[in-house]
Chain A
């Protein structure tokens, strides 16, 4: 069975979806006191483009062996991924009412597959998702399945040696069905990602490792769509999309303020955030 093709939405529809997701994310995180808001807000457009325009997935049949695989290698982005999966129809939105509650499977990081439809891997410890996605891409090649595999990484995650181990092997194995997307929001937990370790020039590093590298504005749907299409057209090298993003994007007082890696909004901040998100 061929996995369901992605939906086709207009840019305006995609932007509306992104706005809705940001509203729900901020509200849910405030209620549940779950952090990493900045990291979630920076990758909303990337996830929306992937889940509505790119990935071959069937929310009604989430374990279709021929589906594309998306792994949230930056597992601390789980709060926004949960919102995406609910909106895309993998499970009812009401399930997120349990988000952050004791005994719930919806917490700061994705659990292993089998608990939340659409989750392909338990991540949270950085540097695991890309190698796992590489394994899935090699499996698809062996099994002669059409699945493409995607991993969304953070820039801080590129500190992990396992990312570069995977980069080297994916290039030698010519795994062109693998696409890594880096949510390059310029911050990691306690500092500027360019300063903590010498990431710069990030795209050139990937290129030097044998990857097809593109640099884009990670909040521009058209640019994301074009980059994903170019990655699909590449038939030799694995692809990386270095997506320049703003941590905390969409809420002015969260943008590029790394305190929102840890903080959750108080009632006044929540109201102010929602007011901004309603007036876009």
Chain B
């Protein structure tokens, strides 16, 4: 995803004179092409995220379209007030990109985990909060964010994430897609971890369990019409996010369900428990430990269906 981001940024900078890239001293060599294409519009803002965020707001208020890039905790919770005041309150159309989100940098420890970002940032009025599942979705959302009147926060993975969306997917901000059809239960998620859900669904199919998998693209705005259609079809949902269980996608869906009229839905939330992780391994190890890999998800889904009241 990182490479797709750098490639798309370079292409956009070549097309548009207002696209500006601010890095928090990361992305070694990653933006070499961008710097060739738009040398005056690349800024290494150093390890000083508060200034970088306010500076981006100032640029946006002057008509530029700045994109901020650094590791997720540093571009979110580190400078939350600058996001709240400079970006969200001013509705300065900044695009804030958090790389290595969720457990991408699991082995780097809690300082580099981002398991609260969506929960915290979706409370800010007027800020889109998106979490693309693959590179195609990232590119579509980035393009849309750079034309939107309001700011966007985008959490992305690192590299090697598989493509999950088909050619005919309707990608963008607040646009959901059904990645896999099914009939027994709906997994509704965001981010690259949806790849694990697809593998779980594939593994369960021969056992007669039919799982549908939906990709929501983000937590704000939610795709209301899509969710309403899903609510008509599926009484049992599992939400899935590589994010803490508090306040993220699962919570956003519960809020959406609580405030609407329609058929009752049983929603169970899957994510990282409400705890800091310090017995560390890589992302695959950590997902496995938390039951968020394909195998763990398959077990959870099977149990959810077996324990369902008849």
Do A and B interact with each other, yes or no?
yes
Q: Which B residues lie at the A interface, using CB under 8 A?
A: 20, 40-41, 43, 45-46, 48, 50-64, 66, 81-82, 85-86, 89-91
Question: Which residues of A have CB within 8 Å of B54?
Answer: 128, 131-132, 134-135, 162, 166
User: B51 and A142: CB pair below 8 A?
Assistant: no
Whole-angstrom distance between the alpha carbons of A166 and B54 in the complex?
9
User: B85 and A122: CB pair below 8 A?
Assistant: yes
Contact of A128 among B56, B64, B86 (CB under 8 A): B86
Question: Which residues of A have CB within 8 Å of B46?
Answer: 165, 168-169, 172
- Confirm or deny: A50 has a beta carbon within 8 angstroms of a beta carbon on chain B: no
11 more A-B residue pairs beyond the given contacts A135-B58, A135-B60, A142-B64, with a C-beta to C-beta distance below 8 A: A113-B61, A128-B82, A131-B50, A135-B56, A135-B57, A136-B61, A136-B62, A137-B58, A162-B51, A166-B54, A166-B55
- Confirm or deny: A226 has a beta carbon within 8 angstroms of a beta carbon on chain B: no
Interface size on A, residues (CB 8 A): 31
Contact of B48 among A128, A133, A142, A169 (CB under 8 A): A169
- Confirm or deny: A61 has a beta carbon within 8 angstroms of a beta carbon on chain B: no
What would 17 A/B residue contacts be, using CB atoms closer than 8 Å? A65-B63, A120-B61, A121-B61, A122-B85, A122-B90, A127-B50, A128-B86, A131-B54, A132-B54, A135-B54, A137-B58, A138-B59, A142-B41, A143-B64, A162-B54, A169-B43, A169-B46
Whole-angstrom distance between the alpha carbons of A138 and B60 in the complex?
11
**Which of A135, A138, A139 has the largest number of chain B CB atoms within 10 A?**
A135
User: B55 and A169: CB pair below 8 A?
Assistant: yes
Whole-angstrom distance between the alpha carbons of A64 and B56 in the complex?
20
Top 5 nearest A-B pairs (CB, nearest first) are A135-B58, A131-B54, A165-B51, A139-B62, A165-B48
Closest to A127 in B: B50
Contact of A142 among B20, B56, B60 (CB under 8 A): B20
Question: Which residues of B have CB within 8 Å of A162?
Answer: 48, 50-51, 54, 82
Question: Which residues of B have CB within 8 Å of A48?
Answer: none
Whole-angstrom distance between the alpha carbons of A131 and B54 in the complex?
5
Whole-angstrom distance between the alpha carbons of A121 and B51 in the complex?
15
User: A143 and B50: CB pair below 8 A?
Assistant: no
Q: Which A residues lie at the B interface, using CB under 8 A?
A: 65, 69, 112-113, 120-122, 125, 127-128, 131-143, 161-162, 165-166, 168-169, 172-173
Question: Which residues of B have CB within 8 Å of A143?
Answer: 62-64
Tell me if B's interface is mostly helix, strand, loop or mixed: helix
Minimum Cβ distance to chain B for residue A148 (Å): 13
Question: Which residues of A have CB within 8 Å of B43?
Answer: 138, 169, 173
Closest to B91 in A: A112
Closest to A131 in B: B54
User: B62 and A161: CB pair below 8 A?
Assistant: no
User: A132 and B64: CB pair below 8 A?
Assistant: no
Given A131-B50, A165-B51, decide whether A112 and B58 contact each other with a Cβ distance below 8 A.
no
**Which of B46, B55, B66, B89 has the largest number of chain A CB atoms within 10 A?**
B55
Contact of B90 among A65, A121, A138, A140 (CB under 8 A): A121
Whole-angstrom distance between the alpha carbons of A96 and B90 in the complex?
23
Closest to B46 in A: A169
Question: Which residues of A have CB within 8 Å of B82?
Answer: 128, 131, 162
Minimum Cβ distance to chain A for residue B48 (Å): 4
Question: Which residues of B have CB within 8 Å of A69?
Answer: 62
Question: Which residues of B have CB within 8 Å of A120?
Answer: 61
User: A112 and B89: CB pair below 8 A?
Assistant: yes
Question: Which residues of B have CB within 8 Å of A141?
Answer: 40
Closest to A138 in B: B59
User: B58 and A131: CB pair below 8 A?
Assistant: yes
Whole-angstrom distance between the alpha carbons of A120 and B45 in the complex?
23
Whole-angstrom distance between the alpha carbons of A236 and B91 in the complex?
32
Whole-angstrom distance between the alpha carbons of A140 and B56 in the complex?
13
Whole-angstrom distance between the alpha carbons of A128 and B87 in the complex?
11
User: B48 and A136: CB pair below 8 A?
Assistant: no
Whole-angstrom distance between the alpha carbons of A143 and B57 in the complex?
16
Contact of B40 among A132, A142, A168, A169 (CB under 8 A): A142
Question: Which residues of A have CB within 8 Å of B20?
Answer: 142
**Which of A132, A137, A168 has the largest number of chain B CB atoms within 10 A?**
A132
Minimum Cβ distance to chain A for residue B126 (Å): 11
Question: Which residues of B have CB within 8 Å of A127?
Answer: 50
